[in-house]
Structure 1
Amino acid sequence: MRAIVSRKHGPMQKITPLPMDVDPRGFLVADAYAAGVPRWRLQTKDLLTPSRGIRLANVNELDLELLARLHTAITPRCAVSHVTAALLWNIPLPIYLEEEGNTGLIHVTRRQEIGRVKRRGVVGHRAPLLARDVREVNGVRLTSPEWTWVDLARRVGRESLVAAGDFLLARENPLSSIEAIQEIVDRRPKVKGIRMAREILPLLRSGVDSPQESKLRVKIVDAGLPEPAITVPIYDEHGRYMSTPDLQYTEYKIAMEYEGDHHRSDPVQWGKDIERDDRLRAQGWIVLKFSDVQMKGGWANAERKVRDALASRGWRGPSS
């Protein structure tokens, strides 16, 4: 293999491998110096400088967790926050915020009395963080899930904030609780977006399986329709399990399913879905399907579909 060389400083220098105790994916300059790495080696084209004192491997895919870890290591008494923390907690976000994370911009929060972080590649914030508001995950200091959720309220819309909150209350391994989120909302009465957070908090539900299901539920409620139940198992007259729809009106025997692309692209799953729906219809259930088309641009028709199904089963409006 042909050696990579550097011509930046005097005679050509071979780009030699970094010492074993220096992570080639990314590291602090101070650690590299301590390991005996010469200055010229830190300025070669196989390394990027996202911020002062930090080097990353010059590769196509950004390792956001690694970059966040390096920033918290080089900056004392801070925590990764806002959009960056949300991405590292795997909280579902709108595409435009996911793309912001891919730029390598890191949001960092310090306590108010310390002062905002000022360095390239960082958006600095100040907030009254307590020790319990910061968690360490894989070596990265992050604002807690509930603190992060409140920070998101100024950046996302109503449906996306519900989806983010539902994610924190997942059936398996929930990241937070309604009580913990409420406590942060109460402690941060003046933060930007708090009115939205207060408005959305009563709409959060546990047991939701996907962001799109959360958004579908909010659309239904905002249309003045009854709030459907979430992931309640359905059994036939003999007590045999049949299905657990995403949403349902048990009283009216109406089941609703959000069908993502994986349902259509996986023939096995597609076949199972058809069999499941046939069994439900045989037991007198109405099965309504929704996709990204209804969620984004065709909600009026989807709303009419739900309203007509309810009316066909005797629903007469909000008072019924």
Structure 2
Amino acid sequence: MPVAARIPRELRFAPFSGSRAVAAGRITWRMLRGPAWQRLLPDVYVEAASYDPDDHRMWCEAVAVKLPIGGAISGLSAAYLCGVDLLPRRSPVHVTLPRSTRPKPNRQIAVTYATLAPTDVTTLFNDIPMTTEVRTAFDLGRLLPRADALAALDAMLHRRLLSREALTRYLDTKAGARLVAQLRELVALAEPLAESPMESRLRLLLHDAGLPRPTPQYEVRLPPPGVASPAARPGSRGRFIARVDLAYPQWRIAIEYEGDHHRERMTFRRDVTRYNALQAAGWLVVRCTADEVLRQKEQLAHSVRRAIAGRSPTTADAKIM
């Protein structure tokens, strides 16, 4: 019966440098070539029982083992470590390295070359060097495609990882950086109340179509009897009807993104009840799917524009606000 490999306590769970572990006498090269260990990168290993090819944090820890001085986990990977997951499955680890370094290409690592100030770098759990929240937002807002960049900024603001004011102040110190104009535009459009990347894309679609800026996560309420609107009497908010993704309260128009989870039976039933309540309250609901947001933008914008045109300005004084 084979004897189970002895796993040194210091080498459990987290990736480590094989050469350093051997030099410290914790393990031998022969042991590392055995089934108890999984090689992740050149000279970087992890206990086989802890290996998960879809664990991006594990890959970040592995890359951090070999980062040169001045390098840091950055971009979408830094955002992921902060709790903002916008990564595609099995994404490479995004890092920023000094321009003086030229590592061998590796499909697990996506490199951006830049000089990071000491104040641009922080550390997380296992001493992983990563860009600060404001530097991460600065990079994502400039370097990602515009819609992805807005989704990233929205998510970071939503999780209160930074404020719009802090990002603006940081941006003012980087006037000569690449693609600053895109970031300045998106900072003004970013919305802390946004709750999903598709909602961010939908808002950007409406903006690009020249439509008015909608109110995110708007609560539709029915005023108490004898009150013209919930805001007419201090402290009187009215009976809650629904919270909608985006709204034009002045026209009583709600815009709702329908993700795949809305096809589930219980969600579908709740949606029907909810939309019926909104309709009874005098609201028009424009429902849209991922295909419309991503590939039928002009048609969706036209539907919203037509909905606005069909609502008389007098509805701004309607009882349902």
TM-score range, shorter chain: 0.7 to 0.9
2:121 is the alignment partner of 1:145:
no
Question: For structure 1, which segment, 39-48 or 222-231, has the greater mean C-alpha deviation from structure 2 after superposition?
Answer: 39-48
Separation in 2, partners of 1:165, 1:204: 6
Separation in 2, partners of 1:251, 1:22: 61
Question: Which residue matches 1:205?
Answer: 191
Question: Which residue matches 1:258?
Answer: 257
Once the two structures are superposed, the pairs formed by residues 121-132 of structure 1 within 5 Å of their partners are: 121=106, 122=109, 123=111, 125-131=113-119
Aligned equivalent of 1:292, options 290, 293, 306: 290
Q: CA RMSD in A?
A: 2.6
Question: Which residue matches 2:241?
Answer: 242
Structure 2-normalised TM-score? 0.80
- Which runs of no fewer than 5 residues in structure 1 stay unpaired? 4-13, 316-320
The residue type paired with residue 163 of structure 1 is A
Aligned equivalent of 1:308, options 306, 309, 312: 306
Aligned equivalent of 1:19, options 4, 8, 33: 8
Separation in 2, partners of 1:220, 1:40: 61
Question: Which residue matches 1:37?
Answer: 27
Aligned equivalent of 1:82, options 45, 53, 75: 75
Structure 1 residue 15 displacement after superposition:
7.6
Separation in 2, partners of 1:149, 1:103: 19
Go from structure 1 to structure 2 and tell me whether the alpha carbon gap of 1:15 and 1:149 turns closer, same or farther (over 3 Å shift): same
Q: Secondary structure at the match of 1:233?
A: strand
Aligned equivalent of 2:88, options 75, 83, 98: 98
Structure 1 residue 24 displacement after superposition:
4.9
Structure 1 residue 117 displacement after superposition:
6.4
Question: Which residue matches 1:108?
Answer: 96
Question: Which residue matches 2:156?
Answer: 168
Structure 1 residue 291 displacement after superposition:
0.9
Q: Residue 92 of structure 1 contacts residue 211 of structure 1 at CA under 8 Å; is this kept in 2?
A: no
Separation in 1, partners of 2:259, 2:171: 33
- Which runs of no fewer than 5 residues in structure 2 stay unpaired? 225-237, 314-321
Separation in 2, partners of 1:299, 1:226: 16
Question: Which residue matches 1:63?
Answer: 55
The residue type paired with residue 310 of structure 2 is S
Structure 1 residue 268 displacement after superposition:
1.8
Go from structure 1 to structure 2 and tell me whether the alpha carbon gap of 1:190 and 1:41 turns closer, same or farther (over 3 Å shift): farther
Structure 1 residue 17 displacement after superposition:
3.5
Structure 1-normalised TM-score? 0.81
Question: Which residue matches 2:266?
Answer: 268
Go from structure 1 to structure 2 and tell me whether the alpha carbon gap of 1:204 and 1:24 turns closer, same or farther (over 3 Å shift): closer
Structure 1 residue 32 displacement after superposition:
5.0
Structure 1 residue 109 displacement after superposition:
3.6
Go from structure 1 to structure 2 and tell me whether the alpha carbon gap of 1:117 and 1:147 turns closer, same or farther (over 3 Å shift): farther
Separation in 1, partners of 2:247, 2:93: 41
Go from structure 1 to structure 2 and tell me whether the alpha carbon gap of 1:142 and 1:298 turns closer, same or farther (over 3 Å shift): same
The residue type paired with residue 237 of structure 1 is P
